[in-house]
């Protein structure tokens, strides 16, 4: 097997179909096939062997997409490094994965040089302006356009998905070729319909993460992928209108930015048939707002790097039903996708009855089985064929999954368990709230107290928000205090960084629990 062969096959069906768009640059499927063959063959000729690691450290670009396909074709272990990481973190990844080649853009070249100093890792510069690095254009020119498809097995590692998770420690989920193929198969079996040659998918977020998980499925069916080099609400809306985008993916922070854009109603967004939201919980009110703005084309999903992306889906029809007749549905992550199995279990791993809270565990052919070089963490997370997600949730009797919170994000106040996202969902219902992050802060009486940090859309007093929550939640769950901020910190994946918000209030404490 070789995952890159799906692009080769697509180039025979749709050779002149636009495959990739980034700014003014456009590639047909014939172009994409030739360029990825050239890169794969050039890397092989330079001495990089199948199974060895090839990393990228760059912002969104078409070159980044080409590198992914070339890594599949050459049988290399792909290591997509978040463009938000520091030089020290990149240095750790290069050493941990024994990276042979690192491809960078001009913006990240200086940090890449620092990270690669003293290693045997060679650099390739996408922009061709960095001393002591090969030019990407020269590397492609040296390669052969003839098809490349190194034979690999389903169990061979394909991608090291590095993430810091909730602990801050960098760890890599080992996604195999079989995991990636299963994910692609799942995309092609989507309840919203498989990609087709008429689809135009906008990669608006970092394609090193969830935004890029569906690219191979799109390419396998002749779809056009449009890459947004840098996200802003304005550029997103312009791209949807200009490129007649039919589908896209946004994390909730990005969706909030788009919905808050003052010119939202000035753009023609009628081409959109599917707006996927995921990567973090999205409040019911934001789903209502999104449907009001974009129409009945909004869906949300749930997944992790450990599950090679999507596990459950709340379909467009589900969202509409939630708005019209079943409000609880808007808080759901949906039902399991295709061949994923989902359970909610107690601390001993036993399934709990419908409606009871427990840890969400997942099983399926796209679920990974280990972290790279982390046997103890692997044993904790991957047990008896199941991925223990660290998420707390429950299953409704009709099979819909509800994620309540992360295990480690739970607030314990006066002996009661309070889930941050439950409080945030209520705050998002207030018209003056643009963004909200709820954390536990030290409290002498209660151990921890509920604090909300809010970005305002319009003027509102803290007391009004506290009372708003008290009317809709058990009073123990209402925020004891509200702070206002101009913006909330986000992590490398563009999600609100709860840990960074929380740490400010625990500075100087001997322990991070009370």
Domain of 495: which CATH number? Answer: 3.30.300.30
- The single residue listed with the structure tokens 């001993």 is 348
Predicted confidence (pLDDT) per residue in 401-420, tens digit:
999 877 877 787 876 778 89
Domain-located, residue 347? no
What's the whole-number mean pLDDT along residues 438-461? 91
Lowest-confidence segment of 188-192, 299-303, 373-377 by average pLDDT: 188-192
Please report whether residue 417 resides in a domain. yes
Q: Is the dihedral of CA 84, 89, 91, 95 positive or negative?
A: negative
Question: Over 80: is that where the pLDDT of 383 sits?
Answer: yes
Residue 497 lies in a domain: yes
* Mean pLDDT value across the chain: 92
- Whole-prediction pTM value? 0.85
* Tokens encoding 459: 């003027």
pLDDT in the model for residue 16: 97
463: containing domain: 410-506
Out of 117-131, 265-279, 406-420, give the one with best mean pLDDT.
Answer: 265-279
User: At 118, is the pLDDT very low, low, confident or very high (cuts 50, 70, 90)?
Assistant: confident
Closest CA to 305 of 438, 431, 170: 170
Q: Two tokens at 167?
A: 């602990």
Could you report the per-residue pLDDT of 275-334, keeping only the tens digit for each?
999 887 788 999 999 999 999 999 999 998 999 989 999 999 999 999 999 999 999 999
Distance from C-alpha of 474 to C-alpha of 338, rounded to nearest angstrom: 37
61: left (phi over 0), alpha (psi -120 to 50) or beta: beta
**Pair type for strands 99-104 and 122-125:** parallel
Is it the case that residue 96 has pLDDT exceeding 60? yes
pLDDT bracket for residue 126 (50, 70, 90):
very high
In this prediction, residue 371 carries a pLDDT of 96
pLDDT at 104 over 60: yes
Q: Over 80: is that where the pLDDT of 166 sits? A: no
Nearest to 392 by CA among 377, 378, 409: 409
Give 237-242's long-range contacts (Cβ < 8 A, gap of 24+). 237/261, 237/263, 237/264, 237/267, 237/269, 238/267, 239/202, 239/204, 240/202, 240/267, 240/269, 240/271, 240/272, 241/267, 241/268, 241/269, 241/271
For residue 69, is pLDDT > 80? yes
What is the mean predicted confidence (pLDDT) over 182-196? 86
d(Cα 128, Cα 105) in Å, to the nearest integer?
A: 8
Q: Is residue 281 part of a domain?
A: no
- From the list 350, 363, 364, 478, the residue with the least C-alpha distance to 413 is 478
Count up the domains in the chain and report the number: 1
Is the pLDDT confidence value at 191 over 90?
no
In a domain, 438, yes or no: yes
């Amino acid at each position: 097997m070789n995952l890159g062969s799906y692009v080769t096959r697509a180039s025979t069906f749709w050779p002149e179909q636009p495959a990739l768009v980034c700014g003014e640059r456009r590639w047909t499927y014939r172009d994409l096939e030739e360029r990825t063959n050239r890169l794969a063959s050039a890397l092989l000729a330079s001495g990089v062997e199948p199974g060895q690691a090839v990393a990228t450290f760059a912002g969104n670009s078409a070159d980044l997409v080409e590198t992914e396909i070339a890594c599949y074709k050459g049988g290399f272990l792909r290591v997509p490094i978040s463009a938000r990481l520091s030089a020290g973190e990149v240095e750790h990844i290069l050493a941990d994965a024994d990276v042979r080649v690192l491809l960078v853009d001009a913006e990240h070249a200086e940090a890449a040089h620092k990270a690669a100093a003293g290693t045997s890792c060679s650099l390739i510069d996408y922009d061709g302006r960095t001393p002591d690095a090969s030019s990407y254009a020269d590397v492609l020119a040296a390669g052969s356009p003839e098809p490349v498809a190194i034979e690999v097995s389903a169990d061979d590692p394909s991608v090291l998905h590095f993430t810091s998770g909730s602990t801050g420690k960098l760890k890599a989920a080992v996604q195999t070729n079989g995991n990636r193929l299963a994910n692609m198969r799942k995309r092609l079996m989507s309840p919203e319909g498989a990609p087709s040659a008429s689809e135009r998918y906008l990669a608006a977020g970092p394609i090193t993460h969830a935004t890029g998980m569906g690219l191979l499925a799109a390419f396998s069916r002749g779809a056009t992928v449009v890459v947004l080099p840098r996200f802003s609400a304005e550029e997103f809306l312009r791209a949807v209108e200009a490129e007649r985008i039919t589908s896209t993916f946004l994390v909730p922070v990005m969706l909030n930015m788009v919905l808050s854009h003052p010119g939202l109603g000035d753009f023609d967004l009628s081409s959109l048939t599917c707006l996927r939201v995921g990567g973090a919980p999205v409040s019911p009110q934001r789903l209502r707002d999104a449907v009001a703005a974009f129409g009945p084309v909004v869906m949300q999903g749930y997944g992790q790097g450990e599950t090679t992306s999507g596990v459950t889906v709340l379909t467009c029809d589900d969202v509409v039903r939630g708005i019209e007749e079943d409000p609880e549905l808007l808080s759901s992550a949906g039902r399991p996708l295709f061949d994923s199995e989902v359970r909610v279990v107690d601390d001993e791993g036993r399934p709990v009855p419908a409606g009871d809270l427990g840890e969400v565990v997942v099983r399926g052919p796209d679920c990974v089985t280990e972290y790279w070089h982390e046997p103890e963490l692997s044993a904790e997370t991957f047990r008896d064929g199941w991925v223990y997600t660290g998420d707390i949730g429950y299953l409704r009797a009709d099979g819909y999954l509800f994620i309540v919170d992360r295990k480690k994000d739970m607030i314990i106040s006066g002996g009661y368990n309070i889930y941050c996202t439950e409080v945030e969902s209520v705050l998002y219902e207030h018209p003056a709230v643009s963004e909200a992050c709820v954390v536990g802060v030290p409290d002498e009486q209660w151990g921890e107290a509920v604090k909300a940090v809010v970005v305002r859309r319009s003027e509102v007093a803290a007391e009004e928000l506290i009372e708003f929550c008290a009317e809709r939640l058990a009073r123990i769950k209402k925020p004891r205090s509200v702070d206002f901020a101009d913006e909330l910190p986000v992590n490398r994946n563009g999600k609100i960084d709860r840990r960074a918000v929380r740490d400010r209030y625990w500075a100087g404490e001997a322990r991070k629990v009370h």
